[in-house]
Amino acid sequence: MSIAQRALILGSTSRYRRELLQRLRVPFDVVSPEVDETPLPDETPLALATRLAKAKAKAVAALHPNAVVIGSDQVADLNGEPLGKPGTHERAVLQLQRMRGQTVVFQTAVSVVCQASGFEQTELAQIKVRFRDLSDAEIDAYLRAEEPYDCAGSAKSEGLGIALLDAIDNDDPTALIGLPMIRTARLLRAAGIDLLGAIKP
Protein backbone atom coordinates (compact mmCIF):
# COMPACT_ATOMS: atom_id res chain seq x y z
CA MET A 1 0.00 0.00 0.00
CA SER A 2 1.44 3.40 -0.94
CA ILE A 3 1.08 6.28 1.49
CA ALA A 4 -1.11 8.12 -1.01
CA GLN A 5 -3.69 5.34 -0.71
CA ARG A 6 -3.83 5.39 3.05
CA ALA A 7 -7.11 6.16 4.78
CA LEU A 8 -7.37 9.57 6.38
CA ILE A 9 -8.87 9.85 9.87
CA LEU A 10 -9.77 12.92 11.90
CA GLY A 11 -9.18 12.07 15.55
CA SER A 12 -11.79 14.47 16.85
CA THR A 13 -15.50 14.67 17.49
CA SER A 14 -15.55 18.46 16.95
CA ARG A 15 -18.07 19.41 14.28
CA TYR A 16 -16.03 22.55 13.60
CA ARG A 17 -12.91 20.55 12.72
CA ARG A 18 -14.94 18.12 10.63
CA GLU A 19 -16.46 20.97 8.60
CA LEU A 20 -13.04 22.55 8.08
CA LEU A 21 -11.41 19.32 6.93
CA GLN A 22 -14.23 18.77 4.43
CA ARG A 23 -12.89 21.81 2.55
CA LEU A 24 -10.00 19.66 1.26
CA ARG A 25 -12.48 17.33 -0.53
CA VAL A 26 -10.54 14.25 0.55
CA PRO A 27 -12.57 11.37 2.03
CA PHE A 28 -11.96 10.84 5.74
CA ASP A 29 -13.42 9.05 8.73
CA VAL A 30 -13.95 10.48 12.20
CA VAL A 31 -12.85 8.59 15.31
CA SER A 32 -13.14 9.80 18.90
CA PRO A 33 -9.65 9.86 20.44
CA GLU A 34 -10.73 9.09 24.04
CA VAL A 35 -7.99 11.25 25.59
CA ASP A 36 -8.12 12.79 29.07
CA GLU A 37 -7.86 16.55 28.49
CA THR A 38 -7.11 17.49 32.11
CA PRO A 39 -4.14 19.89 32.28
CA LEU A 40 -1.05 18.66 34.11
CA PRO A 41 0.15 20.64 37.16
CA ASP A 42 1.77 23.93 36.04
CA GLU A 43 1.30 23.01 32.36
CA THR A 44 1.28 26.05 30.08
CA PRO A 45 -1.53 26.52 27.55
CA LEU A 46 0.97 26.03 24.69
CA ALA A 47 2.29 22.80 26.20
CA LEU A 48 -1.25 21.57 26.92
CA ALA A 49 -2.50 22.16 23.37
CA THR A 50 0.60 20.51 21.87
CA ARG A 51 0.47 17.50 24.19
CA LEU A 52 -3.23 16.89 23.59
CA ALA A 53 -2.97 17.20 19.79
CA LYS A 54 -0.20 14.59 19.79
CA ALA A 55 -2.03 12.35 22.24
CA LYS A 56 -5.25 12.41 20.19
CA ALA A 57 -3.45 11.56 16.94
CA LYS A 58 -1.42 8.78 18.57
CA ALA A 59 -4.44 7.28 20.35
CA VAL A 60 -6.38 6.91 17.09
CA ALA A 61 -3.27 5.84 15.12
CA ALA A 62 -2.75 2.99 17.60
CA LEU A 63 -6.20 1.69 16.63
CA HIS A 64 -5.72 2.34 12.89
CA PRO A 65 -1.97 1.90 12.26
CA ASN A 66 -2.18 2.06 8.44
CA ALA A 67 -4.14 5.33 8.39
CA VAL A 68 -2.93 8.92 8.40
CA VAL A 69 -4.47 10.47 11.52
CA ILE A 70 -5.04 14.12 12.39
CA GLY A 71 -5.22 15.22 16.03
CA SER A 72 -5.82 18.79 17.11
CA ASP A 73 -6.42 20.82 20.23
CA GLN A 74 -7.03 24.44 21.10
CA VAL A 75 -6.49 26.22 24.41
CA ALA A 76 -7.32 29.86 25.10
CA ASP A 77 -4.35 31.45 26.85
CA LEU A 78 -5.16 34.38 29.13
CA ASN A 79 -1.87 35.68 30.54
CA GLY A 80 -0.52 32.14 30.79
CA GLU A 81 -3.70 30.60 32.23
CA PRO A 82 -5.51 27.97 30.14
CA LEU A 83 -9.21 28.58 29.48
CA GLY A 84 -11.14 25.61 28.19
CA LYS A 85 -14.65 25.14 26.85
CA PRO A 86 -17.09 26.78 29.27
CA GLY A 87 -19.84 24.16 28.98
CA THR A 88 -22.47 26.38 30.63
CA HIS A 89 -23.84 29.89 30.25
CA GLU A 90 -22.61 30.89 33.68
CA ARG A 91 -19.01 29.82 33.03
CA ALA A 92 -19.07 31.47 29.61
CA VAL A 93 -20.15 34.77 31.22
CA LEU A 94 -17.23 34.56 33.65
CA GLN A 95 -14.77 33.79 30.82
CA LEU A 96 -15.86 36.73 28.69
CA GLN A 97 -15.87 39.07 31.69
CA ARG A 98 -12.25 38.12 32.37
CA MET A 99 -11.27 38.48 28.70
CA ARG A 100 -12.88 41.85 27.99
CA GLY A 101 -10.31 44.47 27.12
CA GLN A 102 -7.62 41.76 27.07
CA THR A 103 -5.51 40.09 24.38
CA VAL A 104 -6.00 36.33 24.47
CA VAL A 105 -3.68 33.94 22.63
CA PHE A 106 -5.47 30.91 21.19
CA GLN A 107 -2.91 28.09 21.07
CA THR A 108 -4.03 25.72 18.30
CA ALA A 109 -1.92 22.61 17.72
CA VAL A 110 -2.30 20.04 14.94
CA SER A 111 -0.52 16.69 14.83
CA VAL A 112 -0.42 14.17 11.98
CA VAL A 113 0.63 10.58 12.67
CA CYS A 114 0.90 7.42 10.57
CA GLN A 115 2.09 4.52 12.68
CA ALA A 116 2.83 2.23 9.73
CA SER A 117 5.12 4.71 7.98
CA GLY A 118 6.60 6.17 11.16
CA PHE A 119 5.42 9.67 10.24
CA GLU A 120 4.79 12.03 13.13
CA GLN A 121 4.83 15.83 12.95
CA THR A 122 3.14 18.61 14.90
CA GLU A 123 2.68 22.31 14.21
CA LEU A 124 1.33 25.14 16.35
CA ALA A 125 -0.65 28.23 15.35
CA GLN A 126 -0.77 31.10 17.84
CA ILE A 127 -3.64 33.50 17.25
CA LYS A 128 -3.72 36.79 19.15
CA VAL A 129 -7.27 38.02 19.72
CA ARG A 130 -8.02 41.41 21.28
CA PHE A 131 -11.45 41.55 22.92
CA ARG A 132 -13.42 44.77 23.17
CA ASP A 133 -14.18 46.21 26.60
CA LEU A 134 -17.53 44.45 26.66
CA SER A 135 -20.42 45.37 28.93
CA ASP A 136 -22.20 42.69 30.94
CA ALA A 137 -25.31 43.28 28.81
CA GLU A 138 -23.33 42.71 25.58
CA ILE A 139 -21.83 39.50 26.98
CA ASP A 140 -25.21 38.13 28.03
CA ALA A 141 -26.88 39.08 24.74
CA TYR A 142 -24.13 37.46 22.69
CA LEU A 143 -24.10 34.21 24.67
CA ARG A 144 -27.89 33.83 24.50
CA ALA A 145 -27.82 34.47 20.74
CA GLU A 146 -25.00 32.09 19.78
CA GLU A 147 -24.59 29.69 22.76
CA PRO A 148 -20.87 29.00 22.11
CA TYR A 149 -20.53 26.77 25.15
CA ASP A 150 -18.48 24.14 23.28
CA CYS A 151 -15.85 26.68 22.17
CA ALA A 152 -12.62 27.51 23.99
CA GLY A 153 -12.89 31.17 24.95
CA SER A 154 -16.70 31.28 24.72
CA ALA A 155 -16.87 32.96 21.30
CA LYS A 156 -17.23 31.99 17.63
CA SER A 157 -15.22 34.39 15.48
CA GLU A 158 -16.79 32.88 12.35
CA GLY A 159 -20.22 33.97 13.60
CA LEU A 160 -21.67 36.74 15.75
CA GLY A 161 -18.64 36.49 18.03
CA ILE A 162 -16.72 38.71 15.62
CA ALA A 163 -18.69 41.63 17.15
CA LEU A 164 -16.88 41.02 20.47
CA LEU A 165 -13.44 41.66 18.99
CA ASP A 166 -11.17 44.59 18.22
CA ALA A 167 -8.52 42.64 16.29
CA ILE A 168 -7.25 39.20 15.23
CA ASP A 169 -3.58 38.57 14.44
CA ASN A 170 -3.33 35.24 12.64
CA ASP A 171 -1.30 33.74 9.76
CA ASP A 172 -3.60 30.72 9.27
CA PRO A 173 -7.20 31.95 8.82
CA THR A 174 -9.07 28.86 10.08
CA ALA A 175 -6.87 28.29 13.14
CA LEU A 176 -9.17 30.26 15.43
CA ILE A 177 -12.10 28.04 14.43
CA GLY A 178 -10.17 25.00 15.65
CA LEU A 179 -8.04 23.56 12.84
CA PRO A 180 -5.25 25.53 11.11
CA MET A 181 -5.85 24.38 7.55
CA ILE A 182 -2.65 25.78 6.00
CA ARG A 183 -0.60 23.84 8.54
CA THR A 184 -2.85 20.78 8.29
CA ALA A 185 -2.50 20.67 4.50
CA ARG A 186 1.28 21.05 4.83
CA LEU A 187 1.47 18.14 7.27
CA LEU A 188 -0.75 15.94 5.10
CA ARG A 189 1.46 16.59 2.07
CA ALA A 190 4.51 15.70 4.17
CA ALA A 191 2.73 12.47 5.19
CA GLY A 192 2.30 11.60 1.51
CA ILE A 193 -1.29 12.67 0.90
CA ASP A 194 -1.62 14.26 -2.57
CA LEU A 195 -4.45 16.66 -1.80
CA LEU A 196 -5.00 18.19 -5.21
CA GLY A 197 -4.17 14.99 -7.09
CA ALA A 198 -6.85 13.17 -5.12
CA ILE A 199 -9.65 15.39 -6.41
CA LYS A 200 -11.84 13.70 -8.98
CA PRO A 201 -13.11 15.86 -11.90
Catalytic residues: 73
3-state SS record for the chain:
CCHHHCCEEECCCCHHHHHHHHHHCCCCEECCCCCCCCCCCCCCHHHHHHHHHHHHHHHHHHHCCCCEEEEEEEEEEECCEEECCCCCHHHHHHHHHHHCCCEEEEEEEEEEEECCCCEEEEEEEEEEEEECCCCHHHHHHHHHHHCCCCCCCCCCCCCHHHHHEEEEECCCCCHHHCCCHHHHHHHHHHCCCCCCCCCCC
